[in-house]
Amino acid sequence: MNERKLKLILGSLLHDLGKIIFKGSENHSLSGYSFLKNEGKITDTDILNQVLYHHSNMLKDAPICTSSNAYITYIANSIAAGVDEEDKSFSFDREIPLQSIFNILNGNQQKYVYKQETLLNTGAINYPAERVKLTPAFYESIENNIKQSLIDIEIKEEYINYLLEVLEANLSFVPSSTHRELSDISLYDHLKMTAALATCINDYLQEKEINDYRSVLYDSKKFYDEKVFILYSMDISGIQDFIYTISSKGALKSLRSRSFYLEIMLEHLIDELICSIGVSRANIIYSGGGHAYILLPNTQLTKEKIIWFENSIKKWFMEVFKISLYVAGGYSICSANDLRNQPAGSYKNIFKKISQDISRKKLHRYSAEEILYFNSSSISGERECSVCKRTDMLTEDNKCKICESLERMSTAIINNKLFSILSKPHNNSLPLPINKYLASYKGEGWENIKNDNLIRCYGKNEPSTEFHAATKLWVGSYNNGYSFEDLANSSKGIKRLGVLRADVDNLGQAFVSGFENEISGDKYVTLSRTATLSKKLSMFFKLHINNILENGQYYLLGNKKGKRNATIVYSGGDDLFIVGSWDDILCFAIDLYKSFKKYSQNTMTISAGIGIYPNGYPVSTMAKEVGQLEEKSKSMENKNSITLFSEENCYSWDCLIDNVLGEKFQMIREFFDNSHERGKTFLYNILQLLRNKEEKINLARYAYLLARLEPDEKAEAAQKELYKKFSKQMYLWMQQDEDCRQLITAIYIYGFLSRKEGEERGEQWTN
């Protein structure tokens, strides 16, 4: 990336910084210019001009050359804003907070806003609220934070990642505009999008050998129809089989390390592509869960690099993973108007074209020549990897090289914060596509490789203090259990492992058409809102998920709060897989539902499945079975459901919370916790009769069992009254099919919870 382009990206990332500086009616372009020059000590004229002249009224008579980057930043800013710039007013009300992106999602019509916060302190979740004002002190703290990061500004690619991190941390809850109908795009998202668009426009003009930017870009409607951009997407297939096909020994550590390895692999693939094309991480629209969207320039170089990239990674995956992992890519060529959905429907067509491209490649993955390569590969059938069962690349310990490396590096993957991409293997490094390697360091050994072997590095959830160019990745990393056995033994009642799988319902539809509504039509369907929504979901499942697990709210046995006995296996852009004590997993699922409902203002739903297993149960089988429970939830008419233990126990979230747990479980618990010990032995017999209630004689047996639970004459009045209430409800519930089904589930949960160590009868609850 040449110096001129670096300055373009830096200038476009800083162009609206004056909005956090200026006061009263002062022009924010002038404020930003003065701040960067005087406080930030930036002396580069090209960068400063982009800040000073990014609006039409300032650019009109600007004393700059026609090839100045300011013209590119000007039009990129206009496209990112989603409206043609007008010269009427550029004032910025610093009391007005950022509106929620969920206000108009999926037919919503709320006016919620975000509290004044930064991401420097990532403890609590910033939920949308009804009334908030931003204070001068808030802006002053942001100003000071950013000023410190600008003093050491460098015209280098590494500095771009650092600046993106600083801007994200400080400006994610500052509005980009306060004088539009909607102010739901943060200043960070606007700056990032402007930089992405500017880079693409620059490369497009360079290929066309256009140097007179003023004549092409200034006050030009025609340019909005030019096919300047490519929206590229990649999708990794085979992730679940790769993660779950492991042995039971050290399963939890292996699951987590495999999941993180794939997460880093996706980021590495993105970086390899954007570096080869010459754009920055500002161009990443979305990444997570094995998927990515990237905005690229529509140039011949881009198309050639995409072909090179896809061929290179395909060859690497064939050699290293055979057919178990596969990456499919697809793209759509589009204009600025397409990205703003003008004409109506053009934005949907972008994603439709990409989806068709990826689907076609998935259906026809390998050529005849490549199939012959697989068939002719020498694979011994005498031995197989003791972890993943593959029969090639085996070491003397009967493990393939990948599994052996993952095992050696698993502790570092889980505990370390800094990860490096190297050009040569180093100690226990893991292979990555295009002949690169993944290593991790606590600090020792860093000096030996950072000069000649280091390509890039990533920081997990926090910036590196050793190397400011580390790209920070938000990662769901909560861990409160060293093994499946530890987690199972931490359970209340029956010692079982709980496994949760969940993901967001109808996510693709929300991205493409979620911002359409009856009042404004598809006016607000833009790439900027898709990017903002993507970021919000990614933040929830990669960052906030840690907070939800750290601060448990819902408990079966009272108002206790605290850390969950659970561990995140993976939590991607919209889905998750978490293991833990069975009771904490069940309660966490309810916390997750409530938190996501509040976070998304009830505009999006989530469906889940929970399985309960003894320690040592095959991991792949657990994953498959819980996946089927999750699919059962998604098969419901409105989705938004959870399935517990088996497909018979599928409920809407509210039904589970209010009817199964809030009503029936609490009734059972209240009665049996206050009954004589002999009463609990009746519960299993009651369950058997409920399961077979179609037999008429069972109703009489059921009534007889309830009668036998009646306290004797010496019992206290309160106990007698409790029995009367209990027996009446139990009898009524049996006669209503839905109530009976809910009652069975409630008895299961109480049975699991009340089982004591050594009670054999408890095994029958899992049948």
For 223-232, what is each residue's pLDDT tens digit? 999 999 999 9
Between the alpha carbon of residue 590 and those of residues 2, 492, 609, 733, 734, the distances in Å are 51, 17, 12, 24, 26
CB 100 within 8 A of CB 110: yes
Token reading at 727: 């027996």
Average pLDDT for residues 241-257, to the nearest whole number? 79
* Residue 763, pLDDT score: 46
Task: Quote the CA–CA distance of 170 and 40 in Å, as a whole number.
Answer: 16
Cα–Cα–Cα angle for 16, 206, 219, nearest 5°? 50
- What ranges make up the beta strands (E) of 618-668? 641-644, 650-652
Please give the pLDDT value at position 157.
Answer: 83
Under the banding of pLDDT at 50, 70 and 90, the label for residue 608 is very high
Q: Residue 25: what pLDDT?
A: 59
pLDDT digits over 275-286, tens only? 999 999 999 999
Whether the per-residue pLDDT at 86 is higher than 60: the answer is no
Identify the CA nearest to 413 among candidates 543, 573, 246, 261: 261
* CA 581/CA 491 separation, integer angstroms: 5
- Mean pLDDT over 306-335 rounds to 93
State the residue for tokens 């919870």.
753
Does 562 or 712 have the greater pLDDT score?
562
C-alpha 65/C-alpha 214 separation (Å) is: 9
Q: What is the pLDDT of residue 650?
A: 96
Position 320 scores a pLDDT of: 87
Instruction: Give me the residue label for tokens 């059972």.
Output: 668
Residue 214: count of CB within 10 angstroms of its CB: 18
**Beta-ladder partners of 235:** 291, 328
Residue 312 has pLDDT above 80, yes or no: yes
Helix residue ranges, H only, 208-299: 213-217, 239-244, 251-277
Q: How distant is the alpha carbon of residue 378 from its chain centre?
A: 40
The CA-CA-CA angle for residues 591, 596, 602, to 5°, reads 125
Looking at residue 251, its pLDDT comes to 80
Rounded to an integer, the average pLDDT of 340-358 is: 92
pLDDT, greater one: 138 or 764: 138
Task: Report the top-level CATH class of 484-647.
Answer: alpha beta
The residue with greater pLDDT, 50 or 474, is 50
pTM of the complete model: 0.91
The residue ranges of every structural domain in the chain are: 3-96+133-155+178-223, 229-416+418-460, 484-647, 657-766
Residues 6 or more apart whose CB falls under 8 angstroms from that of 214 comprise 66, 71
Of 308, 304, 314, the residue nearest 366 (C-alpha): 314
Question: pLDDT tens for residues 414-465?
Answer: 777 788 899 888 777 889 999 999 988 665 555 555 556 888 888 887 655 4
Task: List the strands of the sheet with 326-334, edge to edge.
Answer: 284-288, 291-297, 229-237, 326-334
Is the Cβ–Cβ distance between 127 and 113 less than 8 Å? no
Residue 279 burial (C-beta neighbours within 10 Å; 0-12, 13-18, 19+): buried
Going 423 to 424 to 427 to 433, the CA torsion angle's sign is: positive
CB 333 within 8 A of CB 298: yes
Please check whether residue 470 is in contact with residue 459, taking contact to mean a CB–CB distance below 8 angstroms: yes
User: Identity (one letter) of the amino acid at 341?
Assistant: N
Determine contact, residues 391/384, Cβ cutoff 8 Å. Answer: yes
Indicate whether 590 pLDDT > 70: yes
Give me the sheet containing 430-432, strands edge to edge.
Answer: 430-432, 436-441, 418-422, 454-460, 471-473
More confident residue, 559 or 305: 305
628 vs 375, more confident: 628
Per-residue pLDDT averaged across 629-639, rounded?
94
Kindly state the tokens that stand for 108: 């919503």
Query: What's the pLDDT tens digit per position in 27-80?
Result: 888 888 888 888 888 889 999 999 999 988 888 888 999 999 999 999 999 999
If one counts every other C-beta atom within 10 angstroms of the C-beta of residue 312, the result is 16
Taking each helix axis from N to C end, the angle separating 3-14 and 157-171, rounded to the nearest 10 degrees, works out to: 10
Distance CA 667, CA 725 (A): 9
Q: Please, what is the average pLDDT of the chain?
A: 86
Q: What is the dihedral of CA 425, 429, 433, 435, to 10 degrees?
A: 0
Q: pLDDT category, 711, cuts 50, 70, 90?
A: confident
Residue 610: the pLDDT is: 97
C-alpha–C-alpha distance, residues 758 and 765, integer Å: 14
pLDDT band at 295 (very low <50, low <70, confident <90, very high): very high
pLDDT over 70, % of the chain: 89
Q: How far apart are CA 200 and CA 295, in angstroms?
A: 8
- Cβ within 8 Å of residue 738, ≥6 positions away: none
Amino acid identity, residue 704? Y
pLDDT higher for 469 or 645? 645
DSSP 123-147: SS----BS-----HHHHHHHHHHHH
Model pLDDT, residue 520: 74
Structure confidence at residue 333 (pLDDT): 97
**Mean pLDDT of all residues in 202-226:** 92
Convert the pLDDT of each residue in 526-550 to its tens digit: 888 999 999 999 999 998 999 999 9
